Amino acid sequence: MKKSNFIYLNIAGLLIIGAILYFSLRHDHSNEDSHDHTETETAEKPGADKKVELNEAQFKAAGVTLGTYSLKNLSEVINANGYTKLPPQNQADVSVHLQGVVKTISVIEGQFVRKGQVLATIESPEFTKLQEAYLTSKSNLEFLSQEFERQKTLSEEEVNSKKVFQKTKAEYQIEKARFNSLKQQLSVLNIQSGNTAVATVPILAPISGYTTEINVKIGSNVEVGKPILSIVDNSKLHVDLLVYEKDLHKVKQGQNVQLVLTNQDNTVIRGTIFSIGKAFENETKSVAVHADINNEKNALIPGMYVNALIDIGTNAVNALPVEAIVKADGREFMFVLEEGHEEADHDSEKGHSHDDGHKHDDTEGNSYHFRRVEVKTGTSQLGYVQITPLQKVAPNAKIVLKGAYYIQSHLLKTEGGGGHSH
């Protein structure tokens, strides 16, 4: 009986020891997993702030300038898109008033021509007939003019009857009207009213500009009203900008516009709003706003796509120099000097070491600690840009106005293993 009890006690003891070992090992494994998970989260979650330390020599070499916000009256703007457009007054289709055949062509496509310049010549027997009628009418008018004066004198002296005078007067006035009509027709056809009839007439440029399409060749038969060629004067281009309903009430005549040419290295051209549309365009809930632009160098052509900034007023905002802002990972940042670090001397012991294994010398002098702060930028003008910090910054904080790119490069070098940071 005693032996049986002893066996049961041994079995119970082994079970207790096994249970203790099981829970002990499970607890250690759980702690290890929790520790690994925490380390993974810490590694994956980047720090909210990135900090950089510069020693005295680096600070001076970077030419860092510290300061604070400037209150600037930067213009508020509305973003709009649109196209360059040419008014109808600066476009011309050149055509003829009588049918004929092209004898000569004096210009090529893309050539600049001045108003009144000969573009081509047209040959037709109709021109000769018209000049013949003109010369005949001119001769008849001279005769009837003299006859009218003679009958007028006789009528006043009551030598001849009034009826004869009235008939002569009517014939004279009819011929005079016919003569003036023929003279006007010759003028429209650019035919000089002389005593010699010609079969060829010149086609003159109605405006100054550049030839675009030449629709005929030598020997082509031209028809009345069918364009021979076209001319455009691009110096009078304007832009049509589409402004949405929510911004329309802010747009006024006379406001300045900055046009950015996306296809010409983002070249900026300035303009002025001269007209605002009174109806929506193509059911887009946007209205066409027309702006004059300066195109004296003819760098623009009709139909070019543009981005525009419409200045709608000025507003006093916190601003920093453009060079104070750096970009990284698709975001924008500024650097702020941390309080108390601009005079923070290194340890008094010469040749002391930090935990990072690097040895430091007192010849480095003061150290400067900077914190990188993410910001949101706004309007940019005259070298300054509107700034809104996305992290808390003390009102009296010292901000890096100059040298930010050096500090950013030092930060990247440090993160890449080329140095150490604190």
All structural domains of the chain with their residue ranges: 50-72+317-415, 78-88+234-314, 90-232
Q: How confident is the model at residue 14 (pLDDT cuts 50, 70, 90)?
A: low
What's domain 90-232's architecture? Beta Barrel (2.40)
Give whichever of 13-27, 59-73, 101-115 has the largest mean pLDDT. 101-115
| CA–CA gap between residue 49 and residue 122 (Å, rounded) | 80
- Asked, colleague to colleague, whether 50-72+317-415 and 90-232 share their fold, the answer is no
Lowest mean pLDDT among 24-28, 77-81, 211-215, 378-382: 24-28
pLDDT score for 8: 60
pLDDT score for 198: 82
**DSSP reduced 3-state for 386:** strand
At the fourth CATH level, the homologous superfamily of domain 78-88+234-314 is Efflux pump adaptor protein, beta barrel domain (2.40.30.170)
**C-alpha pair distances (Å), 364 with each of 178, 342, 346:** 104, 13, 8
Which pair of tokens denotes residue 254? Answer: 């006379």
For 177-193, how does the pLDDT look when each residue is reduced to its tens digit (9 = 90+)? Answer: 999 998 888 888 888 77
pTM metric for this prediction: 0.54
Q: Are 370 and 336 in contact (CB under 8 A)?
A: yes
Q: Are 239 and 83 in contact (CB under 8 A)?
A: yes
Locate tokens 């005769």: which residue? 143
Q: How confident is the model at residue 344 (pLDDT cuts 50, 70, 90)?
A: very low
pLDDT score for 316: 79
Whole-number average pLDDT of the chain:
80
pLDDT score for 340: 64
List CB contacts of 179: < 8 A, sequence separation 6 or more.
134, 137, 138, 140, 141
| CA–CA gap between residue 16 and residue 4 (Å, rounded) | 19
pLDDT score for 42: 37
CATH 3.30.479.30 fits domain 50-72+317-415: no
| CA–CA gap between residue 307 and residue 79 (Å, rounded) | 7
pLDDT score for 401: 93
Q: What angle do CA 312, 316, 320 make, to 5 degrees?
A: 110
**C-alpha pair distances (Å), 32 with each of 35, 45, 245:** 5, 20, 61
Q: For 345, which DSSP code?
A: P
Torsions phi, psi of 188, nearest 5? -65, -35
